[in-house]
């Protein structure tokens, strides 16, 4: 049985092949893993830091 080159396979089969090769994030969203720069002013972060330190 001959193997058909990937370029000549249907788009559906190509997607299936590439999906099988891709890794899994195991339910973790990669977007939530981005660390924001500390130099950017973030009002919510300053509020959160002040609450954690006990300052009012």
Residue range 9-30, pLDDT digits in tens: 999 999 999 999 888 888 888 7
Reported in sequence order, the residue ranges of 1-56 that DSSP labels E, i.e. its strands, are: none
Q: Let me know the angle formed at the C-alpha of 29 by 23 and 32, rounded to the nearest 5 degrees.
A: 135
Decide: pTM greater than 0.75: no
Length of the chain: 56
When comparing pLDDT for 34 and 39, which is higher?
Answer: 39
Residue 34, both tokens: 């981005």
Q: What is the CA radius of gyration of the chain?
A: 23
């Amino acid at each position: 049985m001959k193997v058909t080159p990937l370029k000549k396979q249907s788009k559906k089969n190509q997607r299936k092949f590439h999906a099988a090769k891709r890794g899994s994030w195991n339910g973790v969203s990669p977007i939530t893993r981005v660390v924001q720069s500390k130099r950017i002013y973030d009002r919510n972060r300053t509020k959160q830091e002040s609450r954690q330190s006990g300052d009012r």
